[in-house]
Chain A
Amino acid sequence: SFLDVTPKQNIAIKDAIKDVNSLQSAVNGIYSQLQNDDYYGRTMILVPDLMPDNIYLSSSNSSSIFLNVNRFEVKVNDSEVENAWNVMYSVAVNSTRAIKGAEAFMEADEKTATEDAKQILGEAYTLRAMAHFDLLRLFAQPYNFTSNASHAGVPLITEVSDQPTYPSRNTVKEGYQLVVADLTKALSLLSEETGKGIISINATKALLARVYLYQEEWTEAAQMATEVIESGKYALYNAEDLPAKWDQEFNDETIFEIINNITDHSGSNSLAHFFDPDGYAYGLATEDLVNLYTDQDSRTDFFYLGDKGNEKDVYFVYKYSRNSPNKAVIQDENIKLIRFSELYLIRAEAYAELANDTKAQEDLQTIVQRAEPTAAPITVTGQELKDRILLERRKELAFEGHRLFDLTRKKKDVMINRGDDVLDIKYPNERFIFPIPLRELNTNPNLEQNPGY
């Protein structure tokens, strides 16, 4: 009728996901959410290394951004926390809408269930799993916090609604069950060959290996890692190439990375700007971390000793800002979410936990010696081996968003030693996880806050 005006540039919900092309656009939208600086664009990579002992904040951080995170003083209304929650749920909801929409049109007409459509649907499943997994990691205690993972997780999104809904929190166990189910479902839909800028079958397997590791499902973790390692699609760089090639796009070690191009990077809110001495350089590497590397370790190239403002002789992080062809637009780097070396470390840890120390040593040594060829062979066993693997994870995956979760799932304390400033946060601790944002609690009476907030 005269009063039914169809939007021209916004898309009416009924038209948003109705065939493979529109599904592709809806899923592209989800990927673009991962670029967000409140998600993988910065927060999700930075926070797990900033909270414990890998990164500290420069005194020039005048806007006090992430200051509360760094001091274990996160408040219920901190915007970094609220924004991360919001964008992760946006990914979960958009993925669910894509899944429901795609399944509806495929069911209505079987011919639409093409390989392409199934691939995109698989991506949506993996993306939903990623969002839920990350929400669980940030806002809930680790899987092994209680014996049956019955402690509070996060609300899980599996349905779409045209009315506002007010879900309550599921348990962590239910959360991991959904994550594993989504990833498993994705594996049945995804095809072998895809670029590294979108979810592939191997990216999904790698993610599943990571999830199993957090669940302490060692056999499954090892098996998934093996499948990726043996896929033949990835390779580890040698010590000489590693620093130089690390930030190349789609390099041999990348399994999945988020593509940023010149029009959609986060600019000064980006991860690179946060570390870059020519940018904010608010995030500096702790001496504690730098001292872990021997001089022969090629990974020391990821640090640079220098001055900026009042900060003299500090270690800048060069993992995200070095070698950019044009210093002025360094913010458009792709963000690596899953790298090949992590798979060796996952498998090493799984083998060690399964008391298969020989194989564990082998995988660990692969990672240690490719960075430092002259390093002594790994000979430790038992708990020492497990600790050595955890240490190597810290060194290999520094500034990639793993450290806090590795400590908490291993029930370790966080020990920060910064001159006079000593923080000793004992496990278990309510402060290891974020509070449910105040805004969310205010709008949803069914939510319970995490203890301690």
Chain B
Amino acid sequence: IGQALGSSSLQLAQESNHKSVNTVAHVLKELEAMYAVKFLYKEAIANRQIQTPQNWNALSLQEGIQQLQQYNTNIQFKKIKKNFYTVDFRSRQNNPSTKHLETVALQTQQEEKNTQPVIRQDRTISGKVMDEKGLSLPGVSIVVKGSTNGTITDLNGEFRLSIPEGEVTLVFSSVGYVSQELSASQESFKVVMKEDVQTLKEVIVVAYNEQSKSSFTGSAVALDVSKIKESPRASFQESLQGNVAGVQSLSASGQPGAEPNIRIRGVGSINASSDPLYVIDGIPVVAGNISKIATSSNTIAGLNPNDIESITVLKDASATAIYGSRAANGVILITTKRGKTGKTKFDASAQYGISDIMLADRNQPLNTKELSELIAEGQVNAGMTRQEAETFVKNNIDSSVNTDWVDVISRTGKYQQYNISASGGNEKTNFYSSLGYYDQEAVIIGIDYKKVNGKVNVRHAATDKLMLELGLAANNQTLHTNDDGGNANNPVRAMYRAVPYEPVYNPDGSYNTGFLLTYNPVGLVNENIRETQLYGALGNLGLKYDILDNLSFETKGSLDFNLADEFRYDNPYFGFGRGNKGGIGRAYNNKVINWNITNLLKYRFQLNNDHSFNFILGQEAQKITRKSTYAQAQKFPAGQTTLENASEIIDASTAEIGSSLTSYLFSASYDFKGKYMINISGRRDGSSRFGREVRFANFGSVGFAWNVIQEPFMQNQKLVQELKIRSSYGINGNQEIGDYSTQGLYEPTHNYNNFPGYIYSQIENANLTWEKNKPFNVGVDFRIFNRISGTVEYYNRVTSDLLFNVPIPATNGLTRTLTNIGEMQNSGWEIALSSENIKSAGQDGFQWNTDFNISFNKNEIKALADTLPIIDGQYIREVGGDFYSFYLPTYAGVDPQTGDALWYKVEDGEQVPTNNYREATYQKQESALPKFYGGLTNSLAYKNFSLSFMFYFNWGNKIYDHMSRYTNHDGKLGISDRGNLSRKTYERRWQKPGDITDVPKFVFGNSQSGDAEQHSTRFLYDGSYIRLRDVTLAYQLPQNWVEKIHLSNARIYVRGSNLWTYVKDKDLEGDPEVGVTGRTDFRIPMSRQILFGVDFSF
């Protein structure tokens, strides 16, 4: 090049140093040839003389540009994108950031002989490019068709371009938008770019990468994030329900901020976890409940759903195997929003709503009159005369009191949420920042939830090769919760079991503590403290370095910090702390610290435009530490609750556990003409959790895809627009077995005489290793009639080496040891369809889209530690059965003559009714797992209005009402203050011989049907239901109104959640959504909610 420069028509500089002088056009051409870059400049400057370094050989492009800028103080280089610069001379009057782009000519290497202006300036056109929302789009390329003449839009989306006279067609293109061709028949343009929505063209976030959906061989679903954006739910996980085929999201409790059960393609483990891995911006994060006090809490709820850019659910081996030992139950990838180049944009939203108990009318507890009637009848049935029974009721029940405990304990819930975000950036740096506030009061007194989020994402191009990424998110969740189930503190238990003839307050205004073992539910809420504060911080710093155009190196370090800071105080007067002078205080502190480092090398290349190769090679290391502190003290001065005030320290302890994981991974993809794709991935994980003999293991997958639509034989038809067949198989694992399960251990806390003591607690198990999961998947993606697109998939995953605590002889000093044994299979079909039922050409026309998905999963236990079935409470786990099969005596109804409850006993293979519960035979019943589930969403839009509504359905499962034994006690509890009854008992009880009913005779102190252990199918219900889960009616304010108040966009809407539910089983006494185990309990009930919202941008 030095020679080239020397041989050109250069003039020697007057100065003595190593400079030479040449025209701009000449110098830039040289640079283009040398560095494979392109420069864009006004033709007016082409012949300007500039000083240049004499010898470019020793210089990099950056250094060369720097020197040019040093020698020629007015010259400006601006990097538009990789290997693409604009060049201009700074003029004092102009704003340098935009004006230099105004009219430029595109110069390319092909024109190397020409130092003259490239394009003849015949006429000038100008215009503005916007997206569908009316926001300006910078960086859109505009090229005169058939030439290299063109430009790109500036930060305001504006452009000017000189074009030749005559008929000229302009091509507008930008990544993520449909390219448009327009005839340049006018001088001024307003161009609206449409987003590229064709499903198979989508780029989706997959493991360690982004990839076009059309070339992906695995099963991955990108959730439409608009579905979660306006959700009043604390976590995005709850919004997965009904929206993603193959994913169950089941809330066991209506407590806001509770963790839902997420199961991807079934229950994958018995004794380890069945939860998926969550990866936020490439960081595997801590998920789940880290609290000690709250019945449930959820670290993932700390992520503001409004900050989410995309969610991808990875389901099969091809998609997940690269996550190795953590991927057996699927992976959920989340990316958060980033700023876009352009002017700073503010988005704000506000929501306010109210809620009440779902399906409250399914069980209204009895009032004093009704309960008195039952008790009198019960006494008569137990042998009293009617007169004696009346006297008994009079003596024991204060008929002047009639407390409606549902009214006392439930309330109208309140909800509000506010979010504001700002994003923007320039060519080098962009940012996204947000602040959110969420506040929900549940429908039960004392239960509420608040959340504050902050988030910053910054991306900075340090050089043209080096990109810096910084992310920081912090959140604080505050939960006030209470115990659930049969716990005396549980307000829901009191709601259904407290008798109506006990008042809340004594006549003097003090709490009535003469019942419920003093656990007055209102007093407990007012006088006790149960507060869970969760803090989460997720910080990461990443570097991306482009070594070559097609070879890059990425490194990322992150810290995921989670803290639960909790306090519980029990007053000394009633409830748990009674009898204790001065109250009991307990403080819990639990920290989970998760460090992660990822290094990736990515390489891609193409051969003959037909063969594309893509490689990722990576290394990763993770360390998780869990530290907890606990302290308990009692005897506080009146009004004080901090532990420092307490005079008696009862207990204090700390604990710490940890684990580490080190990994190597690779992925290789090959794509032939976009027709045939193959992907191979692998990972080698080493985990501290596993036995020293089996510490490392390999995981991997192979996936194929065939884009049938690309075949020649598909070209002459109009029916099918997209058709892809794909299949994969592989192996991944589950390492959630506990941190030290393989080590030989002694266990502390076996103290003696106040001196520390420990005992042998775990035998070393050097061969204990991960559970292995082998998913097979085959699927078809299609689009037909230009309207209906969808995916149909079949999968079969077998999980083996399931962990079991296998019994060993107690002569070993221990009775069990964890062993890899057992096998379980999940297989099923998933169908997802999207249909554009009505499409109108204009933006204001009527639009109607329908999305539908349905999933069928079958779970089967293939092998257990023992040939004997495992009986676990009301479940039976046996080979050939499914994991949540109920195991209960079969209820045979009521003897019409005696009113006795009957159950079946099996005698010589015959089902024989018996009224003796102890004789009843436990039998395997149906399962808590649904036969199918899914969602149906309709979205309609007309002009500025839009309406969408989503039905969720869940079908074919059983629910066991665990607490019916108490609320349907048939008189067993006598006059107990916890003896209120269900309405069903009152309405349907057997009263006289000949009555045909399923509710037995009410007998005071009953021991026939009221046996305390009487679990039976009497309380096993059909769990099928259909729910109108979300309805949104929105109105987009007209643009001219909006602009008047200096906004760019404004929208108001009303949204309802759980507005309507069809429950198949009319006898079920509560809400059918009960969590994956299919067991109802006294939990915070689900609620029905209405909210009003407003969104605006400026």
Contacts and interface: CB of A to CB of B under 8 A. Distances in A.
A162 interface: yes
B744 A12 contact: yes
Contacts of A12: 743-746
B517 to A, nearest CB: 15
A97 B745 CA distance: 12
A318 interface: no
A296 interface: no
Interface stretch (B29-37, B434-442, B658-666): B658-666
A89 B811 contact: yes
Nearest to B696: A3
Nearest to B686: A3
Nearest to B654: A9
Contacts of A93: 760, 811-814
A127 to B, nearest CB: 11
Contact of B751 (A155, A162, A264): A264
Contact of A439 (B623, B654, B807): B807
Nearest to A167: B811
Contact of A162 (B740, B757, B764, B815): B764
B621 A162 contact: no
Contacts of B748: 9-11
B750 A165 contact: no
Nearest to A439: B807
Contact of A442 (B747, B754, B807): B807
A7 interface: yes
A374 interface: no
Contacts of B762: 10
A8 interface: yes
A5 B659 contact: yes
A439 to B, nearest CB: 6
A35 B753 CA distance: 11
A72 B65 CA distance: 99
Given A86-B810, A161-B812, A444-B811, A328 B754 contact: no
B752 A32 contact: yes
A197 B757 CA distance: 15
A25 interface: yes
A438 to B, nearest CB: 11
Contact of A328 (B579, B659, B763, B811): B579
Contacts of A148: none
B621 A2 contact: yes
B743 A26 contact: no
Given A5-B660, A9-B656, A29 B746 contact: yes
Contacts of A16: 746, 758, 760
Most chain-A CB neighbours within 10 Å: which of B695, B750, B810, B811? B811
Given A10-B740, A165-B812, A263 B764 contact: no
Nearest to B807: A443
Most chain-A CB neighbours within 10 Å: which of B662, B686, B758? B758
Contacts of A361: none
B865 to A, nearest CB: 11
A166 B755 contact: no
Most chain-B CB neighbours within 10 Å: which of A25, A33, A440, A447? A25
Nearest to B747: A10
Contacts of B740: 5, 7, 10
Contact of B752 (A29, A86, A155, A440): A29
Interface string B381-408: 0000000000000000000000000000
A89 B810 contact: yes
B750 A32 contact: yes
A31 interface: yes
Nearest to B813: A93
Contacts of B579: 328
Interface string B810-834: 1111110100000000000000000
Contacts of A31: 752-753, 757
B739 A164 contact: no
Given A31-B752, A31-B753, A162-B764, A10 B746 contact: yes
B757 A25 contact: yes
Contacts of B686: 3
Interface in B776-831: 807-815, 817
Contacts of A5: 658-660, 688, 739-740
A35 B749 CA distance: 13
Interface string B714-753: 0000000000000000000000000110011111101111
Contacts of B750: 28-29, 32-33
Most chain-A CB neighbours within 10 Å: which of B651, B662, B755? B755
Contact of B815 (A8, A86, A163): A86
B632 to A, nearest CB: 11
Nearest to A446: B809
A26 B811 contact: no
Contact of A28 (B651, B657, B756): B756
Contacts of A164: 763, 808-809, 812, 817
Contacts of A350: none
A26 B810 contact: no
Contact of A259 (B752, B758, B808): B752
B355 interface: no
Contacts of A155: 811
Contact of A94 (B754, B760, B810): B760
A413 B753 CA distance: 40
B758 A3 contact: no
A228 to B, nearest CB: 23
Contacts of A13: 743-746, 760, 764
B841 interface: no
A16 B759 CA distance: 9
Contacts of A447: 809
Contacts of B814: 90, 93
Contact of B744 (A2, A3, A89, A162): A162
Nearest to B815: A86
A98 to B, nearest CB: 10
B813 A92 contact: yes
A30 interface: yes
B513 interface: no
B810 A11 contact: no
Interface string A185-201: 00000000000011000
Contacts of B688: 2-5
Contacts of B759: 26, 29-30, 32-33, 90, 94
A32 B757 contact: yes
Contacts of B654: 9
Nearest to A88: B810
Most chain-A CB neighbours within 10 Å: which of B654, B753, B817? B753
A85 interface: yes
Interface string B640-674: 00000000000100111111101000000000000
Given A26-B746, A164-B808, A9 B752 contact: no
A101 to B, nearest CB: 11
Contacts of B808: 164, 443
Contacts of B623: 2
Interface in A17-36: 24-33, 35
A11 B747 CA distance: 6
24 contacts: A5-B659, A5-B660, A7-B743, A8-B656, A9-B656, A10-B745, A10-B746, A11-B758, A12-B746, A13-B743, A13-B745, A13-B764, A16-B746, A26-B757, A27-B757, A29-B757, A31-B752, A33-B750, A90-B759, A93-B760, A167-B811, A263-B651, A439-B810, A440-B809
When A and B form their complex, which 5 residue pairs have the shortest distance between CB atoms, in order from nearest?
A93-B813, A28-B757, A8-B656, A29-B757, A13-B744
Given A29-B746, A30-B759, A162-B764, 20 more contacts: A2-B688, A7-B739, A9-B656, A10-B747, A11-B746, A24-B755, A28-B752, A31-B753, A31-B757, A32-B759, A89-B813, A90-B759, A90-B813, A92-B813, A164-B812, A165-B809, A165-B812, A440-B811, A443-B809, A444-B809
Interface of B: 579, 621, 623, 651, 654-660, 662, 686-688, 695, 739-740, 743-748, 750-764, 807-815, 817
